[in-house]
Structure 1
Amino acid sequence: MRQRTFLAARIDQWSREHPRRLDLTLTGLMWLVSGLPSALAGLPAFLVATAAILPLVVRRRFPAAVLLWSAAVFGVQLMVVPIPLPADIAQAVVVYTVAAHVVSLPVRLLALGAALAGSVLAGLRWSTPPEYLVNVFKNAVVLGILSVLVWVIGNLVRGRQANMSALREASARLEESRLHRERFVVQQQRVAAAREIHDIVAHSLTVVIVQADGAEYAAEHARPWDRGDAGRVFATIGRTARSALAEVRGVIEVLREADADGPDELRGAGLGLAELRQLVDSVRAAGLAVEVEAEPTAFDDVPTAIRFAVLRVVRESLTNVLKHAGPYAAAHVVVARAQGGIMVRVEDDGVADAIADHGSEPGYGLDGMRERLRALGGVLEAGPRPGGGFVVDAAIPVAVLPPSARPAGFAAAPGGTGRSGER
């Protein structure tokens, strides 16, 4: 239903949208009301009145020129017409127009000076004896006061228009800023989704590659070929690929939703020990021996974002073990509550050569985990262990706290500092 507005509001809107039509209409009405009756004072009065009123059609486009023309016409009127005319209202309209629509202060002051000078000259021309000087003074003061009032009103209107223009510009800047913020949020969502897809695909493809390499080796060297083992290998590959496809589709669907605000929205609220066990089982199926120590209450009263981050740390760490720790490595995962947060440790006993070889191939897994934990107020430290292997320690507060109140992470891994490369 269209909202109804007052008649005055509709007229004001129309006048702002069609200023030239408004000026033409007002000029015509003014000529009919005050110009045409001036003919009663004679032909010269009629011609002067017409010459004073008609230029009002272009008063907004050429206010300074109309001011000069109006002053000249008024001077002619004082010489040829001994009495005031109804069309003299046009002089006030011109003064108002200059004050309201001219930015230059000297031009506006010129209009005021011309109006005051015209008031004095009109007082001299239109006053009559016997108290001629008194009448001159009265007429000049009255006309001068009216001229000043018209000029002030015009300046007030110009100031209002300037304020409205400034408000519109400020509103446009705010709208542009809002659009920039929305684009930034969308970009952040895409970065978060890209990180999730990277984690999903990297882990799943690692499992698939390990299983495929093992199956290829067994097919070439094992005697006899065990169909049951082959079936389990292909079942693991198929299950891992389907799970990765489903997760990637879920991330993409969330990315398409307008109300997706970040990583919290990328998974449901049911993340916990069951998902941790499922993740570990998929890694075990790829041939990695994994031992898990997880407190039954580790995920109790924990926000979804933190649960999700814990699983991502475990997944990325175990994926790195599969890729870089060697064929006979074993991993140990610890998830526990301590110091007001969740502590995660993933360590392996991989061979030292594999770790050294990996040092020249920087990746993004550890950096991605650090960024994720930093957004939640947590810390992550990673480095080699003495005698071989690698350890990843993470500490995530249950609630995001200021830096001074954040719990400290595990101590740095002995024998090394944090590494920026992926392992």
Structure 2
Amino acid sequence: MTEGNVYDWLQRRPLLLDVPLAVALALLGLVILGEGHGSGWAVVGLANLALVWRRSRPATAFAVVSLALAVRVLPTSNLLPGDIAFLVALYSLAAYDRRRSVRLAGLGVAALGSAIAGVRFAAVSGQVPGPGEFLFTFVACAAASLSAWTLGDLKRARLQRLADLQDRAERIEREREQELRLAAQQERASIAREMHDVVAHALSVIVVQADGAAYAAERSPEGALARSVGALETIGSTARDALTETRRLVGVLRDPESGAELAPTGGVDQLGDLVAGVRAAGVPVSLTVRGTERPRAMGLDLAAYRVIQESLTNVIKHAGAGAIAVVDVEQGPDLLRIRVSDDGVGARSLDDGHGHGLHGMRERVAVHGGTLTAGPGAGGGFEVLATMPTEEPR
């Protein structure tokens, strides 16, 4: 066991030091007073047992030891080894009592005791001590008392600093845990948006293809096989893509220390694949990307992709049969503008009220300091317009 471990172990078990110290000083006073002045005065030495409570009740221990020393000076005019109990009690009072007034009062008692010691212990054969003898004894006792009190006060200051550092460490730990909880909540919200975009888009395509195949089988049984094969291929491709994205997102939850393979996917350069999938679902889509390709932050690029994906998903779900969608992306030097419109039934479509697509798109755009508006278009249908400032990636 190292020295620091021994000290910490003893600090947690103070009675292992205080009880032997109190018993030793009490027996010392009991023996010396008993030998020189009889058993009646020897009982005064037992007051040193109060040092057992010098940490838990320092004021009480100091008061008991001080009174015992005041009584002890009556039968003898000599300093005794057991008188060191007063210095121990004074040290404990300064170290462990939290009341400043009580600590200063203990210092005053020590000064008064030093004056009494100068008169009592400097006397020779009952004679009044001279000025030099009084001054020497007073200064010696006062210096010893002041040293004990100062050491105790330094001990108290050190304990207070340790308590403050421990409190600060606990507070920092609580703040860190709170930050981790907030980060986890933000991550869950981000993953929820990702899952919504992926699953909603995939399921919308699958539903449209399945309904189309069923309609074809009912209206034209002779050509249903060929149409069903195309629909099933689109369903399979869309489902595989959605499954891949879902596995990636779940992988983030299972292994938060994973590398780039779990980073967000999707960007403006992948809009061609997205539009192709929507066209395969039976919705005509035209895509226009204007401006020069510029470096963008990954999060900004992903947000643009998800806004377009969610907008096209809404076209599939709500625009109605025969609707045509238009995607226009303008890559300016300072802004990225996205416009997705259709000529379908727009705001007149039925809504179950449980969707979070528009709200999620606004959150994505707002994170990057942009704005998003959505509503009926000027010439009918529905229009989504998003504008986000671009910046060089750090």
Matched, 1:59 2:57: no
Aligned partner of residue 84 in structure 1, secondary structure: coil
Matched, 1:133 2:136: no
Pick from 71, 74, 83 the counterpart of residue 79 of structure 1: 74
Counterpart Cα distance in 2 of 1:163 and 1:140: 34
Counterpart Cα distance in 2 of 1:136 and 1:311: 94
Note the C-alpha offset of 1:393. 1.8
Note the C-alpha offset of 1:400. 7.8
Pick from 379, 382, 387 the counterpart of residue 390 of structure 1: 382
* Contact 1:377–1:400, Cα closer than 8 Å, also in 2: no
Matched, 1:310 2:308: no
- Does the C-alpha gap of structure 1 residues 260 and 133 become closer, same or farther in structure 2, counting only changes over 3 Å? farther
Note the C-alpha offset of 1:260. 7.5
Note the C-alpha offset of 1:294. 2.2
Note the C-alpha offset of 1:44. 4.4
Describe how 1:30-41 pairs up with structure 2 within 5 A: 38=32
Partner of 1:166: 164
Partner of 1:413: none
Describe how 1:22-421 pairs up with structure 2 within 5 A: 22-27=17-22, 38=32, 42=36, 44=38, 47=42, 50-129=45-124, 132-134=129-131, 135-259=133-257, 266-268=263-265, 271-273=267-269, 275-295=270-290, 297-298=292-293, 300-351=294-345, 354-358=346-350, 361=353, 363-399=355-391
User: Percent identity of the aligned residues?
Assistant: 37
Aligned partner of residue 363 in structure 2, secondary structure: helix
Total equivalences in the alignment? 389
Note the C-alpha offset of 1:49. 7.7
Counterpart Cα distance in 1 of 2:334 and 2:59: 76
Q: Which aligned segments of 4 or more residues in structure 1 are displaced greater than 6 angstroms?
A: none
Which stretch has the larger CA shift, 366-375 or 151-160?
151-160
- Does the C-alpha gap of structure 1 residues 229 and 167 become closer, same or farther in structure 2, counting only changes over 3 Å? same
RMSD after superposition:
3.0
Which stretch has the larger CA shift, 18-27 or 227-236?
18-27
* Contact 2:338–2:385, Cα closer than 8 Å, also in 1: yes
Which stretch has the larger CA shift, 146-155 or 317-326?
146-155
* Contact 2:347–2:375, Cα closer than 8 Å, also in 1: no
Aligned partner of residue 222 in structure 2, secondary structure: coil
Aligned partner of residue 204 in structure 2, secondary structure: helix
Read off the aligned partner of 1:100 and give its amino acid letter: A
Read off the aligned partner of 2:130 and give its amino acid letter: L
Counterpart Cα distance in 2 of 1:356 and 1:400: 41
Read off the aligned partner of 1:133 and give its amino acid letter: G
Counterpart Cα distance in 2 of 1:221 and 1:359: 28
- Does the C-alpha gap of structure 1 residues 256 and 348 become closer, same or farther in structure 2, counting only changes over 3 Å? same
Deviations 1:17-71 (A, max 9, x none): 2211121343456578x65884796364993684254332332233222222212
* Contact 2:283–2:323, Cα closer than 8 Å, also in 1: yes
Note the C-alpha offset of 1:252. 1.3
Deviations 1:69-105 (A, max 9, x none): 2122212221112311011111111111111111223
* Contact 1:206–1:322, Cα closer than 8 Å, also in 2: yes
* Contact 1:200–1:248, Cα closer than 8 Å, also in 2: yes
* Contact 1:343–1:394, Cα closer than 8 Å, also in 2: yes
Partner of 1:409: none
Aligned partner of residue 372 in structure 2, secondary structure: strand
Note the C-alpha offset of 1:334. 1.7
Deviations 1:179-230 (A, max 9, x none): 0000000110000000100111111111111111111211222242431111
* Runs of 5+ consecutive residues of structure 1 not aligned to the other structure: 402-423
* Contact 1:340–1:398, Cα closer than 8 Å, also in 2: yes
Note the C-alpha offset of 1:360. 8.6
Aligned partner of residue 386 in structure 1, secondary structure: coil
Which stretch has the larger CA shift, 158-167 or 370-379?
158-167
Counterpart Cα distance in 2 of 1:390 and 1:325: 8
Counterpart Cα distance in 2 of 1:266 and 1:217: 40
- Does the C-alpha gap of structure 1 residues 218 and 169 become closer, same or farther in structure 2, counting only changes over 3 Å? same
Note the C-alpha offset of 1:296. 8.5
Counterpart Cα distance in 1 of 2:304 and 2:110: 81
Note the C-alpha offset of 1:356. 2.3
TM-score, length basis structure 2: 0.88
* Contact 2:31–2:42, Cα closer than 8 Å, also in 1: no
* Runs of 5+ consecutive residues of structure 2 not aligned to the other structure: none
* Contact 1:59–1:94, Cα closer than 8 Å, also in 2: yes
Which stretch has the larger CA shift, 46-55 or 122-131?
46-55
